[in-house]
């Protein structure tokens, strides 16, 4: 089967369909139900990555397994064969062969055997590279924890101080980073200049934001989603990864209120952090965690209530997507 060109195409199509379907369902849900809570949005945005993971582990639970027209168990294939190619359907059933085998018969398969080998090698390459970067990052973080000073600036908010102590979070100040960042190992790094210059309220709002990243394990979620993206390198996940990360930021922005901080404090701090970051170069090994490319202006607008999470035009598009999805769902139910 690996030498059959349509076998490889089926794999590519199944994963792509699974991811795109997940994206459409999540984006439609966010727009239709007008979900504004960043944490709910970020959790929902993680589901398309999980759909790829299910596609890898168990095809029978994958959306692509049921929709992919090249899959012999696909409701879409059964529908198309019955409606448009009844003679071909009878031929396949009478000879007990799959559509993949039928389409791939009579084709020279040697080149596709090589293509499948290259395809598998690329999966191994991208996955190995990401894992190596993760190992290097973990080593650099541990090295920073040993070399950098623990932040001695006191935390005046009782709720914030209790949460830091309860969860055993360590806060470090460093000159090697340009923006605050949370890590996997219950450590928060804040630029020394930010520690020294920000007013107390803004400083603690930044700490509260990064604390939420640690408590919700956002760095781990980001790494896991990027690992899935590396395995399924042919699926365009980059844009969705950015949406996931942005909603994680919004979720942490919104969560500072439970520690008693005003959102204006964080908005002001974000502007100052962004201004400081432009003047310095980030320590290269920590670029992955520092995530400097987040649109801070958009976050400030949301914090101050100057922007909405979605536009009216997107809302109309979501209705159309749900309608099309419902039709496909009805077809699948009818032909399972």
Which range, of 66-75, 77-86, 202-211, 322-331, averages the lowest pLDDT?
Answer: 322-331
Q: Using CA atoms, how far apart are residues 108 and 159, in angstroms rounded to an integer?
A: 69
Which residues, at least 6 apart from 263, have a Cβ–Cβ distance to it below 8 Å? Answer: 253, 254, 256, 257, 303, 304
Dump pLDDT digits (tens) for 1-55: 555 667 777 778 888 888 988 888 898 888 888 898 999 999 999 999 988 888 7
pLDDT band at 319 (very low <50, low <70, confident <90, very high): low
Concatenated DSSP letters for 175-229?
SS-SS-EE-TTSEEEEEHHHHHHS-HHHHHHHHHHHHHHHHTTHHHHHHHHHHHH
- The answer to whether residues 182 and 216 touch, using CB atoms and an 8 Å cutoff, is no
As a whole number of angstroms, the distance between CA 7 and CA 93 comes to 19
Q: How far apart are CA 238 and CA 142, in angstroms?
A: 28
Give me 142's structure tokens. 């541990």
* pLDDT score, position 4: 64
Alpha helices in the chain (DSSP H): 5-32, 38-45, 47-57, 63-67, 75-84, 86-95, 99-104, 110-147, 158-166, 192-197, 200-215, 218-231, 238-255, 263-278, 287-290, 296-303, 312-335
Q: Which residue has the higher pLDDT, 77 or 292?
A: 77
Position 315 confidence tier, pLDDT thresholds 50, 70, 90: low
Per DSSP, helices labelled H in 216-295 are: 218-231, 238-255, 263-278, 287-290
pLDDT band at 334 (very low <50, low <70, confident <90, very high): low
Whether residue 170 contacts residue 186, with contact meaning beta carbons closer than 8 Å, is answered with yes
Per-residue pLDDT, averaged over 286-299, amounts to: 53
Distances (CA, A) of 244 to 26, 188, 250: 11, 21, 10
Residues 6+ apart with CB under 8 A from 240: 19, 23, 45, 48, 49
Angle between helices 47-57 and 218-231 (to 10 degrees): 50
* Mean pLDDT of the chain, nearest integer: 81
pLDDT given for residue 117 in this prediction? 82
Model confidence at 286: pLDDT above 50: no
The pLDDT score that the predictor gives to residue 310 is: 54
Range with the poorest average pLDDT among 38-47, 116-125, 266-275, 318-327: 318-327
Of the pLDDT bands very low, low, confident and very high (cuts 50, 70, 90), residue 304 is low
Sorting pLDDT into bands at 50, 70 and 90, what band is 65?
Answer: low
Mean pLDDT in residue range 125-129: 93
Tell whether the model's pLDDT for residue 124 goes beyond 80: yes
* φ and ψ of 236, to 5 deg: -75, 85
pLDDT digits (tens, 9 = 90+) for 207-242: 999 999 999 999 999 999 999 999 999 999 999 999
Question: How far apart, in whole angstroms, are the C-alpha atoms of residue 75 and residue 71?
Answer: 9
pLDDT at residue 86, rounded to an integer: 85
Residues 6 or more apart whose Cβ sits within 8 Å of residue 122: 233
What's the mean pLDDT in 175-179?
A: 86
Output the CA torsion sign for 271, 272, 275, 280.
negative
Contacts of 142 (CB under 8 A, 6+ apart): 185
Output the pTM of the full model: 0.82
| Higher local confidence (pLDDT), 288 or 336 | 336
Q: For residue 312, is pLDDT > 80?
A: no
Distance, in Å, from the CA atom of 73 to the CA atom of 91, rounded to the nearest integer, reads: 16
Return the minimum-mean-pLDDT range out of 83-87, 180-184, 273-277, 292-296: 292-296
* Positive or negative: CA dihedral 90, 95, 98, 102: negative
Residues 109-124, mean pLDDT to the nearest whole number: 80
Beta bridge partners, 174, equal 191
Report pLDDT for 166. Answer: 96
In the prediction, which pLDDT does 164 show?
Answer: 97
**Mean local confidence (pLDDT), 262-287:** 73
> pLDDT at residue 285 above 90?
no
Element (H, E) at 150: strand 149-150
Q: What is the mean pLDDT of residues 95-105?
A: 71
d(CA 193, CA 174): 9
Q: What are residue 77's phi and psi, to 5 degrees? A: -65, -45
- Confidence class for position 133, pLDDT limits 50, 70, 90: confident
Percentage of residues in the chain having pLDDT higher than 90: 37
């Amino acid at each position: 089967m690996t030498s059959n060109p349509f076998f490889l195409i089926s794999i590519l199509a199944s994963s792509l369909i699974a991811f795109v379907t997940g994206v459409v369902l999540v984006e439609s849900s966010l727009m239709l139900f007008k979900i504004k809570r960043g944490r709910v949005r970020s959790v929902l945005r993680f589901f398309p990555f999980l759909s790829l993971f299910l596609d890898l582990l168990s095809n029978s639970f994958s959306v692509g397994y049921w929709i992919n027209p090249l899959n012999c168990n696909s409701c879409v294939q059964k529908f198309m064969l019955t409606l448009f190619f009844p003679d071909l359907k009878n031929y396949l059933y009478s000879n007990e062969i799959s559509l993949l085998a039928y389409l791939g018969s009579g084709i020279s398969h040697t080149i596709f055997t090589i293509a499948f080998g290259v395809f598998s090698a690329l999966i191994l390459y991208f996955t190995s590279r990401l894992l190596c970067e993760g190992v290097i990052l973990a080593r650099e973080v541990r090295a920073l924890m040993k070399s950098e000073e623990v932040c001695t600036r006191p935390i005046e908010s009782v709720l914030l101080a209790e949460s830091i102590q309860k969860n055993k979070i360590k806060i470090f100040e460093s000159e090697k980073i340009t923006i605050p960042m949370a890590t996997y190992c219950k450590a928060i790094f804040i630029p020394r200049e930010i520690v020294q210059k920000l007013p107390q309220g803004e400083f603690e709002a930044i700490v509260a934001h990064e604390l939420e990243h640690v408590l919700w394990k956002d760095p781990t979620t980001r790494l896991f989603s990027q690992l899935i993206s590396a395995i399924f390198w042919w699926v365009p996940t980059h844009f969705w990864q950015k949406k996931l990360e942005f909603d994680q930021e919004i979720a942490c922005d919104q969560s500072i209120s439970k520690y008693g901080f005003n959102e204006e404090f964080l908005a002001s701090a974000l502007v100052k952090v962004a201004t400081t970051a432009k003047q310095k170069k980030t320590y290269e090994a920590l670029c992955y965690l520092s995530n400097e490319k987040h649109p801070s202006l958009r976050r400030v607008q949301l914090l101050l209530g100057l922007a909405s999470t979605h536009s009216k035009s997107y809302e109309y598009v979501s209705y159309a997507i749900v309608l099309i999805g419902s039709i496909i769902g009805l077809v699948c139910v009818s032909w399972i």
